[in-house]
Amino acid sequence: MVATALAATAALSTTAPVGAAHAVETQQGQVVVWIHDSFGGGTVTSQPAGINCHVVAFLNPYESEEGRPGQTGTCSASFPVGTTVTFIATPDPGSYFNYADPPRLTVGAPGVNTAAVYFCPDEELSPYCWYY
């Protein structure tokens, strides 16, 4: 009987008190990188890690839309609200990095936060390459 009473007391003393604080869930925001169709190629990564997005150069803007390469890799990721995400743009050979808007962003709210990146071909076939 004493052993049963001690076991019951031990079990009761290991439970959390009524009204104990619960873990607060961190809100997440989705960051999406869009590599603008300025005909150059390159890769965008993020710090902290999560984004690793690539597009191949499309050097003939007069071909049909069907032949254009799309983005590949991880072009969106979730980060905790309040996190500052910095983008690192690395052009492919034959292209150069032209512009990022914004070059870094602070995840401000749950939902979608976007950034646009421009890679241009060395030959400057795109009008977007002249503006920045």
12 within some domain: no
Q: What is the pLDDT along the chain (132 residues), one digit of tens a residue?
A: 444 443 433 343 445 455 555 566 789 999 999 887 778 899 999 999 999 999 988 766 666 666 667 888 999 999 999 999 999 999 999 998 988 888 888 998 788 989 999 888 887 666 667 654
H-assigned helices in the chain: 2-13
Domain count, the chain: 1
| Closest among 48, 46, 52 to 71, alpha carbons compared | 52
CATH of residue 110's domain is 2.60.40
122 within some domain: yes
106 within some domain: yes
57 within some domain: yes
| Closest among 46, 68, 73 to 57, alpha carbons compared | 68
How big is the CA angle at 86 (ends 85 and 89), to the nearest 5 degrees? 135
120 within some domain: yes
6 within some domain: no
Please give the radius of gyration of the chain, using alpha carbons only, rounded to the nearest integer.
25
Does pTM surpass 0.85? no
Range of the domain at 78: 28-130
